[in-house]
Structure 1
Amino acid sequence: MEWTGARYADKPTVEVPIWIAAPPERVWELVSDIELMPRLSVELQSVQWLDGGTQPAPGARFLGCSRHEALGEWATTSRVVECEPPRVFAWAVEGLPDDPEQPAAIWRFTLQPEDGGTLLRQWMQLGPGRSGLSVAIDRMPEKEQKIVFVRMREFETNIGATLTAIKQLAEESGKADV
Structure 2
Amino acid sequence: MPETYEKLLQDTIEIDAPAEKVWSLVTDIPRMAKWSPQVVKSTVKGGHVQLGATFSNLNKQGLKRWPTAGKVVRFSPPTATAAGDFAFRIRENKTVWSFQVEPLDGGRTRLTERRETPDGVSGISMLLTKVVLGGQEGFTAELRRGIRQTLERIKAESEG
Q: Same fold (TM over 0.5)?
A: yes
Give the conservation status (yes or no) of the 8 Å contact 2:54–2:71.
yes
Give the conservation status (yes or no) of the 8 Å contact 1:91–1:107.
yes
Detail structure 1 runs of 4+ shifted over 2 Å in the superposition: 125-137
Cα displacement (A) at 1:131 = 4.6
Relative distance call for 1:27 and 1:68 in structure 2 (3 A) is: same
When structure 1 is superposed on structure 2, of 24-33 and 122-131 the one drifting more is 122-131
Are residue 110 (structure 1) and residue 100 (structure 2) matched?
A: yes
Structure 1 length-normalised TM: 0.76
Gaps of 5+ in 2: 79-83
Three-state SS of the structure 2 residue aligned to 1:35 is helix
> Aligned AA for 2:21?
R
Flag the structure with larger Rg. 1
Counterpart position of 2:115:
124
Relative distance call for 1:82 and 1:131 in structure 2 (3 A) is: farther
Counterpart position of 1:169:
157
Three-state SS of the structure 1 residue aligned to 2:92 is coil
Counterpart position of 2:138:
150
Cα displacement (A) at 1:170 = 0.7
Q: Once the two structures are superposed, what CA deviation does each residue of 1:13-72 show, in whole Å capped at 9, x if it has no partner? A: 21010000111101001000111111112221000012x2x23222110000011127x2
Gaps of 5+ in 1: 1-5, 97-102, 141-145, 173-178
Give the conservation status (yes or no) of the 8 Å contact 1:45–1:65.
yes
**How many matched pairs?**
149
Counterpart position of 1:175:
none
> Aligned AA for 1:31?
V
Three-state SS of the structure 2 residue aligned to 1:36 is helix
Amino-acid identity (%): 28
> Aligned AA for 1:110?
Q
Counterpart position of 2:24:
29
RMSD: 2.1
Give the conservation status (yes or no) of the 8 Å contact 1:95–1:130.
no
**5 Å matches for 1:23-172?**
23-50=18-45, 52=46, 54-69=47-62, 72-86=64-78, 87-95=84-92, 103=94, 105-116=95-106, 117-126=108-117, 127-137=120-130, 147-172=135-160
